[in-house]
Structure 1
Amino acid sequence: MKKLLTPLLLAALVLLPTLSPGWGFMGHRTIAQISVYALPKAMQPFYYHFLPRLVTLSTAPDERRDIDPTEAPKHYIDMDHYGTDPFGAMPKAWEKAVAKYSADTLRKYGTVPWTVIDLKDQLTQAFRDGDTTNILKLSSDLGHYIGDAFVPLHTTQNYDGQMTNQTGLHSLWESKLPERHIAKYKLNSEEAKYVKDPLAAIWLTVQQSYGFLGATFDEEEKVSLKYTPETKYNYSHKYGTTRRSYSDAFADSYHDIVGGQVAYRLKQAPTLVASMWYTAWKDAGSPNLDKLLAHEPTKEEKDRLASDLKLWKDNQLVPQQRLLALEKPKAVARPDQIGAATEMSTPAAADLEEKPQTAPAATAAPAKTAAPTPDKVKVKVKPAAAPATKTKVKAKKASDDWGTGGW
């Protein structure tokens, strides 16, 4: 049983969670950059030309959350709302899911799988139209939502551990852990493949994330036994409120157990992002993207791409300081200011303060320091309605639903 704050302290403080609404800005920017390296050669020069801009735009969906009331549900899906066998109960196609649950219910509990499919189709049309502005914007948005689908805490109503006295778990898992330990992660993701069934691919991703919820929660409980409330948490005061977050010491202890899980999901995400970009491009007829550039890539750009690709394959981007997510942000034009002749921009726009996620997310599953493979890991799931109940499930092997020669 976790130790709780004293009633007096609880009465004295207004505790607000410190959340990040996605992988955290660093995580999303890392996924965007690695996705470009995972593309086939026919697409790489175009995407690499706009790499810093893509990295910047990768966080735009999170920045829209405070001004667009329709934005939040696009980032998650609370599968535990749909019963003890949610993946068996939920129709995968949007129209069938609406017929069973209603559009309002689906939007209330999250739509990330269908958001991904909608954006993939829009990106296909942007490729057909040769619309550079939309290609970049849609590629960035698509990458963001796919990245979110790889986060276990985006699949449950207990998205921040708020139902199990683990408030702050969201930011801990997807922001603090990778920010403190990314130098230990392998970022040399697999190369893109054509996705024969995009809907099946994104649903499998969500199902695998849901399977990891058990360890996400259970290991936090185990690590908590070694800490007191004073050593487990940090408190900060701003604008008359007190925010609570996990301490660095606790984060490092927790990472020792679940770090392999975090690293594994972060490494997988760029492969599916690049594969969805590639699929949209192929479905559009494989248009020549070089024609959308103001000029052919220069020798310097080609050499730099070759150098980056080698660093990526050798897992040396962080040691050689070539991971743009770790660079100091600089201003960059908005998506609507991008034209076909736009030159490569400077990296990353200034971060906005990350706001709490307004909608539900997360439950629980396994993880070891060495990244597990989905087909070999048994995970325990805690349904949000009954956190004490644990059900063993076996994560599905990625190749089970994706056709030979592609996803």
Structure 2
Amino acid sequence: MHKSVLSFLVGLMLLTMSSTSLAWGGRGHHAICDAATHLVKSPQLKEFLLHRPHTMGHLCNIPDIYWKSLSSESRKLGDPGHYINVEKIGVSFKDLPADYKKIIETYTGKPNKQNEAQTLFSIPDELGSNWWRADQFYRLALQGAQSIKSADKPKGSKEEQDNSLAYNKAVYDMFVNMGLMGHFVGDNGQPFHSTADYDGYSAGHGGIHAYYEELLVGEFDADIVGQIVKRARSWKSQTFTQQKTVIDNMRILSEVTSSEVKDVLKLDPVTTPSNLRIEKGMSLRTPAKRRPPAEAFKKMEPLLVKQMARSSYLLAHFWDEIYKSAGSPDLKAYKSYQYPFTPDFIKPDYL
């Protein structure tokens, strides 16, 4: 394909992608959750998950590859769970209340701090709810894990494949919700999910979001999971695993990753800045022109690995906490072949 044609197609893709369609990309999310199975510390849980890295990787992509193909109502409810934009309500991450309903009550109808002429009509849409979405799936996974101990284990091969059996259902619910949670923990490790300038247009770097997480991640060799695991294992501890709640750990991770937006923009190989103009009430965007991802990858690779490793590290911590909080239930009797191809969409419960 001619370079000019390729550049046009890439530019068109970046222009037409909305903020709600952007995440780490399929490969990045899969790699984060695959890597997390190697970072779990609880022996029996680790043994269980190491037989399912492909399953966990698949689950971590469900909110993007399946749920976003569902009804517009599902999209409206689900999309805000992928990001957090504190600039619009004018507070820092550390000062944002942990109670989402309190946030809605406090800020609905207030001026948009990025544009005082606008009013905040929908806090979920304007602010996002990434931390609370992760917390929701943590709680759902914990419920499944807690149900395992009281359930009778399957007796014989027929019961092992009976998906309605309480034990099988409890284990399935536990790991499915663990995997779904992984998507939102992954989103939080991507710096452009914690800023209102999610695609770089305010800084003249329009189109950076997909370039960074899709095109650059696509440049990794086959050792992407190994690199993430190696980096995560080099850390003795992280502040975003030392807080008392899921919300507060996610809060710290947002602070850390959002601070690196400037580092990404500094490395972004822009040759022609992007342009954003308003005509007849419509935003017309022309993405930046930049060097091909293969040329930029070597400089960007360490930052990409570090950010994905943070998400894997925190995700493994959450998985361990779920398992231990449930009393380390026995998982060895789970033999079901049931695979979570298309888990049902789950509505946010914190609104």
What interval of TM-score do these two structures reach, taking the shorter chain for normalisation? 0.5 to 0.7
CA distance in 1: counterparts of 2:123 and 2:304, whole angstroms: 30
In the alignment, which of 19, 40, 43 is matched to residue 41 of structure 1? 43
2:141 counterpart of 1:141: no
In 2, distance between residues paired with 1:157 and 1:290?
45
2:3 aligned residue: none
Identify the residue that residue 332 of structure 2 maps to in structure 1. 290
Identity %: 19
Write out per-residue CA displacement over residues 107-164 of structure 1, whole angstroms, 9 at most, x where no aligned residue.
4321001111111111100111231332232111101100000011001221112334
What residue identity is the alignment partner of 2:33?
A
Query: Do the aligned residues in 2 keep the contact of 1:73 with 1:111 (CA within 8 Å)?
Result: yes
Counterpart in the other structure of 1:211: 259
Per-residue deviation at 1:14?
10
Q: What TM-score do the two structures reach when normalised by structure 2?
A: 0.68
- Residue 106 of structure 1 and its aligned partner are, at CA, apart by 3.5
Q: Distance in 2 between matches of 1:157 and 1:123?
A: 30
Partners of 1:51 and 1:197 in 2: how far apart? 26
* 1:170 matched residue in structure 2: 209
Q: Tell me the SS of whatever aligns to 2:43.
A: coil
1:76 corresponds to 2:77:
no
Relative to structure 1, the CA distance from residue 34 to residue 213 in structure 2 (aligned partners, 3 Å threshold; closer, same or farther) is same
- Select 1:58's aligned residue among 60, 64, 72: 60
- Alignment check: 8 A CA contact 1:82 1:89 kept: no
Matches within 5 A, 1:1-400: 16-17=15-16, 21-39=22-40, 40-63=42-65, 64-67=67-70, 68-69=74-75, 70-83=77-90, 85-102=91-108, 104-130=122-148, 131-182=170-221, 183=223, 185-188=227-230, 189-190=232-233, 196-220=244-268, 223-224=269-270, 227=271, 249-293=291-335, 334-335=341-342
The residue type paired with residue 15 of structure 2 is L
CA shift, 1:264, in A, is 0.6
How many Å separate the matches in 2 of 1:334 and 1:228?
Answer: 42
Q: Within 2, Cα distance between the matches of 1:110 and 1:161?
A: 18
Which residue of structure 1 lines up, in the alignment, with residue 281 of structure 2? none
Rounded to whole Å, the distance in 2 between the matches of 1:100 and 1:257 is 43
| C-alpha displacement of 1:18 | 5.0
Q: Please give the alpha-carbon distance, in whole angstroms, between the structure 1 residues aligned to 2:243 and 2:329.
A: 18
TM-score by length of 1: 0.59
SS at match of 1:34: helix
> 2: CA distance between counterparts of 1:141 and 1:333?
11
More displaced stretch, 165-174 vs 117-126: 165-174
Unaligned runs of 5+ in 2: 1-7, 109-120, 149-169, 274-285, 345-351
What is the CA deviation profile of residues 298-348 of structure 1, one whole-angstrom value per residue up to 9, with x for unaligned ones? xxxxxxxxxxxxxxxxxxxxxxxxxxxxxxxxxx752559xxxxxxxxxxx
- What are structure 1's unaligned runs of at least 5 residues? 1-8, 230-242, 296-331, 338-407
* Equivalent residues of 2:137, 2:177 under 8 A apart: yes
TM superposition shift of 1:88: 4.4
8 Å contact 1:18–1:245 — kept in the other structure?
Answer: no
* Cα pair distance change 1:28/1:246, threshold 3 Å: farther
Q: State the 1:48 CA deviation.
A: 2.4
The verdict on how the C-alpha distance between 1:333 and 1:272 changes in structure 2, with shifts beyond 3 A counting, is closer
Q: Supply the distance in 2 between the matched residues of 1:118 and 1:228 (Cα, whole angstroms).
A: 42
Contact 1:194-1:279 within 8 A present in 2 as well: no
Task: Please give the alpha-carbon distance, in whole angstroms, between the structure 1 residues aligned to 2:106 and 2:327.
Answer: 35
The answer for the alignment partner of 1:327 in structure 2 is none
Query: How far off its partner does 1:51 sit?
Result: 2.7
Q: Which moved more, 1:211-220 or 1:183-192?
A: 183-192
